[in-house]
Amino acid sequence: MKKYNFSPGPGILPQSVIEEAAKNVLDFNGSSLSILEVSHRGKDFIAVAAEAEQLVREIGGIDDRYAVLFLGGGASSQFAMAPMNLLADGEKAAYVDTGTWANKAIKEAKLFGNVEVLASSKDSNYSFIPKGYEIPSDAAYLHLTSNNTIFGTQLHEFPQSPVPIVCDMSSDMFSRPFDIEQFGLIYAGAQKNIGPAGVTLVIVRKDLIGRSGRKLPSMFDYRNHADNDSMYNTPPVLPIYVMMLTLRWLKANGGLTGIQKMNEEKAAILYDEIDANPLFTGTAAKEDRSLMNVCFLPTKPELDEEFQKMVKAAGVDNIKGHRSVGGYRASIYNAMPKEGVQVLVDVMREFAKQNG
């Protein structure tokens, strides 16, 4: 039976990428060596890293004013590295609190400077994206989280900001077009849309590198990674390789414009069913619903066990909601085919016929 992986992360990867990566785990480029054991200084992997960077720049419209870095530590490390590098002593940074990961970023930033939380939807269990807040022009930067994996909300437009925007795009990176001109720094753990767990993509405007003037440990200084083409230390070789394959797949599927169309179609199918089906209700404000993580609750919780059996029998995997929200969460990242979403919707409809 075919399975459809709706996991929030690590998320689904294209089948063709998994198959190509598996071949090269056994024999990388006909070398009789595994990609797991080749030197990161060898010409074959240097070519992989160069292509990965080139694809990031091509797909995202990233020009030479920005450094493209492949780092370890996940987005969680960037919660600290961003203020460490960009926020000088005595300065303040502006943050918008839209969920668990934004809250963690705020906590880390407070270790390095003053933090002004401009707006928060915490009192409503992060069910919407705050709007209409004023961005202080004396802040070092504005930090946003573009998509909130746990709560199923997403920024559909970025504000016009008088200061550089630092954005955690971990769960919707390269799922839609964006204007790099609006951002000073973007970071994203790869394991939702652009690769496997283990590599973090950082795109930082070069004139902001070293802005804090702080003397930093070598591994936490963006300058060292930028000056050494992400090879200041041994990089995460396999995750970078799989990211490169995923970016090739993304380019072949129409880039950001093509994938946005696919993602909007998938999300519409599922949200339309949630709104029409009497046994389910959405959790996020409609105008802020995520195209990546669809959160919904049962209207008859006593039937949950029966519904879980039905989706499992249909090959639908990993739709249990986060404990902060409950119910169900269907993560429909780039590689989720439309047919997978349709299978879930078909189960929901059949469930309503039997229990409505």
Distance CA 191, CA 198 (A): 8
DSSP reduced 3-state for 260? helix
Asked if 326 and 304 touch (Cβ cutoff 8 Å), the reply is no
Tell me how far CA of residue 79 lies from CA of 148, 184, 307, in angstroms: 15, 15, 38
Q: Which element (helix H / strand E) includes 50?
A: helix 43-60
- Closest CA relative to residue 243, chosen from 280, 193, 279: 193
- Closest CA relative to residue 180, chosen from 58, 279, 338: 58
DSSP secondary structure code for residue 154 in this structure = E
Q: What pLDDT does 132 receive?
A: 94
Asked if 31 and 44 touch (Cβ cutoff 8 Å), the reply is yes
Tell me how far CA of residue 210 lies from CA of 65, 69, 180, 207, 260, in angstroms: 15, 15, 20, 8, 34
- Reported in sequence order, the residue ranges of 234-288 that DSSP labels E, i.e. its strands, are 280-282
Q: How many CA atoms lie within 13 A of 344 on its CB side?
A: 31
- Closest CA relative to residue 213, chosen from 137, 140, 136: 140
Give the pair of three-digit tokens for residue 77. Answer: 């490390």
Q: What pLDDT does 42 receive?
A: 85
Q: What pLDDT does 355 receive?
A: 92
Q: What pLDDT does 102 receive?
A: 97
Asked if 105 and 145 touch (Cβ cutoff 8 Å), the reply is yes
Q: Report the top-level CATH class of 254-355.
A: alpha beta
Q: What pLDDT does 41 receive?
A: 87
Cβ-based neighbour number of residue 29 at 10 Å: 14
- 15-252 to CATH, choices 3.30.230.70, 3.40.50.1820, 2.40.30.20, 3.40.640.10: 3.40.640.10
Domain ranges of the chain: 15-252, 254-355
Give the pair of three-digit tokens for residue 245. Answer: 């394959």
Residues in the chain: 356
Tell me how far CA of residue 18 lies from CA of 24, 196, 238, in angstroms: 10, 10, 12
Asked if 164 and 65 touch (Cβ cutoff 8 Å), the reply is no
Q: What is the CA radius of gyration of the chain?
A: 21
Distance CA 195, CA 239 (A): 7
Asked if 20 and 206 touch (Cβ cutoff 8 Å), the reply is no
Distance CA 5, CA 341 (A): 10
- Closest CA relative to residue 329, chosen from 294, 305, 289: 294
Same fold, 15-252 and 254-355: no
Distance CA 75, CA 18 (A): 23
Catalytic residues: 101, 168, 192
Q: What pLDDT does 27 receive?
A: 95
Tell me how far CA of residue 187 lies from CA of 101, 168, 190, 251, 324, in angstroms: 13, 5, 9, 20, 24
Give the pair of three-digit tokens for residue 128. Answer: 């919407």
* Axis-axis angle for helices 43-60, 237-252 (nearest 10): 40
Q: What does the pLDDT profile of the chain (356 residues) look like in tens digits?
A: 789 999 999 999 999 999 999 999 999 999 999 999 998 988 999 999 999 999 999 999 999 999 999 999 999 999 999 999 999 999 999 999 999 999 999 999 999 999 999 999 999 999 999 999 999 999 999 999 999 999 999 999 999 999 999 999 999 999 999 999 999 999 999 999 999 999 999 999 999 999 999 999 999 999 999 999 999 999 999 999 999 999 999 999 999 999 999 999 999 999 999 999 999 999 999 999 999 999 999 999 999 999 999 999 999 999 999 999 999 999 999 999 999 999 999 999 999 999 97
Q: Is the pTM of the predicted complex or chain greater than 0.75?
A: yes
Query: Exposure of 236 by Cβ count < 10 A (0-12 exposed, 13-18 middle, 19+ buried)?
Result: buried
Q: What pLDDT does 189 receive?
A: 96
Q: What pLDDT does 147 receive?
A: 98
